[in-house]
Amino acid sequence: MAETKREIERKYEATARTKLPDLARAAGVASVVDRGVTELDAVYYDTPGLRLAADSLTLRRRTGGEDEGWHLKFPVASGIRDEIRAPLSETLPKALAGLIRSRTRAEDVVPVVRLRSSRSVRHLVDETGALLAEVSVDTVHAERLPEGPDTSWTEIEVELADDADPEILDAVEKRLKKAGIAASTSASKVARALAETAEPAPDVADEPDGSPENATAGGRVLAYVREQVDAIVALDPAVRRDLPDSVHQMRVACRRLRSAFKSYRKVLDRAATDPIGDELKWLAGELGFARDQEVLTERLRTRLDAIPRTLVLGPVRARLRVWNAAHGGGARRRTLAALDSARHLALLDALDALLADPPLLKAAPDTPAPVLAAAVLKDYDRLATRAGHALALPAGHDRDLAMHEARKAAKRARYAAEAATPTLGKPAERFAKRMKAVQTVLGEHQDSVVAREALRDLGIQAHAAGESAFTWGLLHGQEEAAGAAGERAFPEVWAKASAPELRAPLTH
């Protein structure tokens, strides 16, 4: 089984002659305990093209020390990484292989660097003997594999102990700097090894559009597309790890990308992007299976928690749990199956191919502002038509559907404006915020519609089981009120979003 450890550390340059200062004088440190010397032998793996290193991921198989085994590290922030550990084995554990699949695709990982380190360890402890940080002086010999050059260096690592105050790192750093020891310029040992043993890089050709990303409409749109593709790739292992909000964020990236293909059809040929858009819709749907049920259940649970206990008649909470299990059962398995599928890997490859050889149209070389503004305004016109249709209908099923369609149009207009903001600036930013407000009020209305459908089903199930359906009816009435409130709020929100002065700065 793989386990995760949050690693917070700082690295410093050193030589064989570097002497550590008295770290017992660092604020908060009571004493320094010498833990001796450990010999470590680590082989780092990557694709032949170093895809993991390009995204600052490291994968190693290490022997020696207390934590020998397979280690996969993901960057979280500067000096902070999540290390996923698996027991020592001859081959890469499946749990770790899945976490790197969005980067490696069909490629096998191969040994790229071997690091042999002699590690001198000291523990910094407080007055109670509790560990604050571990200070290591590493003498490293790195060898490029299979038969590349080698290099050597010495460095100092200071790693924060679990649950220790991060301020201890500042205190230690103050002592090190006072002794003339500077921070390392390398993020990791393997990054340094790869850099110092690399062959001279060949000249890199210009991007397909031949210009900086903001100089042309094609460059700007492709930059936005690349952002979303990078997000999908990076969020794949986060979803597998079940990190908070990861499913939602990956789903949003899929939606932003689909919207960009549709909004900027004058820049990217939809004959090429439509099939990819269909696959993005499939992936978002697989992700949404779990997310939608989770959001709906939490909404119903919150409603239930808010009503007086005297109005909760029958085994309401038990029925809600059973209902959620029946509807959400297997959701995570379904999500993981989608990420492990050949279809998902084919989608990632198709996105790479699109960026490598983008299907640019005649508008792509044009100055970006007019092209992007025209796309945003066209999406606004689409929204205005749907909003007007929804407002003209009487309350009821047809209006619910029309408001849902308007919500999707508002989301597309918002995404188009956000993609254009680096070029169009504040006017696009203000426009996007108004579109988000429309999306929000219509989203709340749609959530109430979905909740009412679920509550009706729950009431029917309760009645059929001989239970009181009173509480479900009460909650249904609350959701009806919430939906009506959304319908009342929509005209005012739309009036602000449709004000001509909001669009005037976008007109070119």
**Tens-digit pLDDT profile for residues 136-153:** 999 999 999 998 899 999
CA neighbor of 425 nearest in space, from 384, 371, 373, 366: 373
> Distance (Å, rounded) from C-alpha 353 to C-alpha 508?
33
From the options 3.30.9.10, 3.40.605.10, 1.40.20.10, 3.40.50.2300, give the CATH code of 217-506.
Answer: 1.40.20.10
CA neighbor of 283 nearest in space, from 204, 352, 345, 373: 345
pLDDT tens for each residue of 409-449 = 999 999 999 999 999 999 999 999 999 999 999 999 999 99
pLDDT at 328: 73
Q: Would you state the CATH architecture of domain 3-196?
A: Beta Barrel (2.40)
Locate 362 and state its tokens: 């005649």
Which range, of 63-67, 240-244, 326-330, 417-421, averages the lowest pLDDT?
Answer: 326-330
Query: pTM for this structure?
Result: 0.89
**Which 8-state DSSP code applies to residue 183?**
B
pLDDT at 291: 78
**Looking at the predicted structure, is the pLDDT value of residue 201 above 70?**
no
Average pLDDT over the chain reads 93
> Distance (Å, rounded) from C-alpha 45 to C-alpha 40?
16
pLDDT at 314: 94
**Which 8-state DSSP code applies to residue 64?**
S
pLDDT at 210: 40
CA neighbor of 157 nearest in space, from 129, 198, 117, 125: 117
Locate 117 and state its tokens: 């380190």
Could you tell me the pLDDT band of residue 209, with boundaries at 50, 70 and 90? very low
Q: Give the side-chain half-sphere CA count within 13 A for 450.
A: 17
pLDDT tens for each residue of 472-490 = 999 999 999 999 999 999 9
Could you tell me the pLDDT band of residue 508, with boundaries at 50, 70 and 90? low
**Looking at the predicted structure, is the pLDDT value of residue 103 above 70?**
yes
Could you tell me the pLDDT band of residue 156, with boundaries at 50, 70 and 90? very high
Could you tell me the pLDDT band of residue 70, with boundaries at 50, 70 and 90? very high
pLDDT at 298: 93
pLDDT tens for each residue of 340-393 = 999 999 999 999 999 999 999 999 999 999 999 999 999 999 999 999 999 999
The domains of the chain are located at: 3-196, 217-506
Average pLDDT on 311-328 reads 91
